[in-house]
C-alpha cells in the first residue's frame, strides 16, 4: 500500500494534512504502508512519524532535519569530506565584533543568516562599518561566516529529482553582482560552461551516493574550475526546471521509477493538479 501526503500525487490513500499532523486513525494506516510519499514542505514531526512506521519514504529527509540550516549543512559537508568554501559558524553576531582584528585579514567575506534560503539573509562584509549596519537585524541570530569565492556571481544549481540530475546556471544580470538569486536578479542559463556543469554533476553524484538524498537543489560555486558546495535547498523554485507543471511531471515520474525499483506496484499513483 502507498500513502501520499503530497497534494499533487495520488496513491492508494492520499491524506491532505494542511498544517496539522496525522490523527491516530491515520497513524494506524501508516503502519500498514509499504511506501509513503511526503510533501516537499514536510515538517520534522511528520517525517519522524512516517519514519517510525517502517515504510520506505520519498523524499528521504534524514539529513534535512539532522543537519538543519547553513551551519548544519556546512557540518555535513565537512563530515562527508565534500569540498566547500571555508566557513565559520557563529552563535551571535556580537562575537564577530570581538574577533574583528582576526577577521579583518579575511575580508571581504560573506555573512549568512543560518536559517535563510534562496539568497535571503546574505551580506557582503568589506569593512567593520558593514557589520555595524546589520547588527540590529541579525542580533541574537546564528550566522555563518563564509569565504567569498570570486566567481563573478555565477552559481551552478544542480537539482536532484529521484534518480535524475538537472543542472543550470544562475548568472548575474549585471557585472560585479555578487549575490545571485532566481527570485530577484538572476538569469537562467542551461548551456553556459558545459564542462563545469559536468563537474558539478559528478560532485552531486558523490553527494547522493553518501546521503541517498533524492529531492534537493544543490548550489555550487567554482574556484579554479573546481566545484564547491554552498548549500542545500530542500524547498526550491521551479523556474529553472520549466515551471511548476514540468517540475511536477518530473517528480511524478521519479516517484514511479523509485517505486518500481523497490518492487512496489505503481498502478495507483496518479499526478493531479
What value does the mean pLDDT take over residues 134-148? 82
Q: Does one domain contain both 99 and 167?
A: no
Q: Does one domain contain both 139 and 168?
A: no
Bigger pLDDT: 101 vs 151: 151
Last residue of a domain, one of 127, 147, 167: 147
CA angle 6, 165, 173 (to 5 degrees): 100
d(CA 109, CA 103): 9
Domain of 126 in residue numbering reads as 86-147
Residue that is written with C-alpha cell 558546495 in the block = 229
**Quick one: pLDDT at residue 160?**
98
In a domain, 209, yes or no: yes
Q: Does one domain contain both 35 and 10?
A: yes
In a domain, 219, yes or no: yes
In a domain, 190, yes or no: yes
DSSP 53: T
Q: Positive or negative, the Cα torsion across 198, 203, 204, 206?
A: positive
Q: Does one domain contain both 126 and 176?
A: no
The per-residue pLDDT of the chain, averaged, comes to: 91
Confidence tier at 130 by pLDDT (50, 70, 90): confident
What value does the mean pLDDT take over residues 262-269? 96
d(CA 127, CA 32): 59
Per-residue pLDDT of 151-202, as tens digits, reads 888 999 999 999 999 999 999 887 767 677 766 678 899 999 999 999 999 9
Question: Residue 229: which CATH number?
Answer: 3.30.470.20
End-to-end CA distance of the chain: 22
**Quick one: pLDDT at residue 19?**
86
What nine digits make up the cell of 205? 553524484
**Quick one: pLDDT at residue 229?**
98
In a domain, 103, yes or no: yes
d(CA 253, CA 249): 6
Q: Does one domain contain both 162 and 140?
A: no
In a domain, 71, yes or no: no
Peptide bond into 130 cis (omega under 30): no
Q: What is the DSSP string of 58-98?
A: ES--HHHHHS-HHHHHHHHHHHTT-----EEEES-THHHHH
**Quick one: pLDDT at residue 123?**
86
**pLDDT at residue 119 above 70?**
no
Q: Does one domain contain both 167 and 230?
A: yes
Residue 96 CB-half CA count within 13 A: 32
- Number of compact structural domains in the chain: 3
Amino acid at each position: 500500500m502507498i500513502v501520499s501526503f503530497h497534494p499533487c500525487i495520488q496513491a492508494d490513500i492520499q491524506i491532505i494534512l494542511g498544517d496539522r499532523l496525522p490523527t491516530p486513525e491515520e497513524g494506524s494506516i501508516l503502519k500498514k504502508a509499504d511506501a509513503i510519499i511526503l510533501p516537499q514542505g514536510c515538517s520534522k514531526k511528520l517525517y519522524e512519524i512516517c519514519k517510525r512506521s517502517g515504510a520506505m519514504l520519498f523524499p528521504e529527509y534524514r539529513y534535512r532535519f539532522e543537519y538543519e540550516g547553513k551551519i548544519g549543512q556546512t557540518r555535513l559537508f565537512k563530515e562527508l569530506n565534500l569540498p566547500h568554501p571555508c566557513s565559520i559558524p557563529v552563535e551571535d553576531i556580537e562575537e564577530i565584533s570581538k574577533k574583528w582584528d582576526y577577521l579583518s585579514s579575511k575580508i571581504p567575506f560573506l555573512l549568512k543568516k543560518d536559517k535563510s534560503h534562496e539568497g535571503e539573509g546574505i551580506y557582503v562584509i568589506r569593512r567593520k562599518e558593514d557589520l555595524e549596519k546589520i547588527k540590529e537585524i541579525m542580533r541574537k541570530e546564528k550566522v555563518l561566516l563564509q569565504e567569498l569565492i570570486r566567481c563573478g556571481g555565477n552559481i551552478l544549481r544542480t537539482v536532484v529529482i529521484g534518480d535524475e540530475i538537472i543542472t543550470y546556471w544562475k548568472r548575474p544580470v549585471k557585472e560585479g553582482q555578487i549575490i545571485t538569486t532566481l527570485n530577484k536578479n538572476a538569469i537562467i542559463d542551461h548551456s553556459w560552461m558545459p564542462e563545469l556543469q559536468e563537474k558539478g554533476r559528478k560532485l552531486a553524484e558523490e553527494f547522493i551516493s553518501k546521503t541517498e538524498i533524492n529531492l534537493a537543489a544543490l548550489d555550487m560555486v567554482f574556484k579554479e574550475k573546481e566545484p564547491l558546495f554552498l548549500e542545500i535547498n530542500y524547498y526550491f523554485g521551479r523556474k529553472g526546471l520549466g515551471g511548476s507543471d514540468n517540475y511536477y511531471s518530473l517528480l511524478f515520474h521519479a516517484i514511479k521509477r523509485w517505486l518500481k525499483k523497490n518492487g512496489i506496484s505503481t498502478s495507483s499513483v496518479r499526478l493531479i493538479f
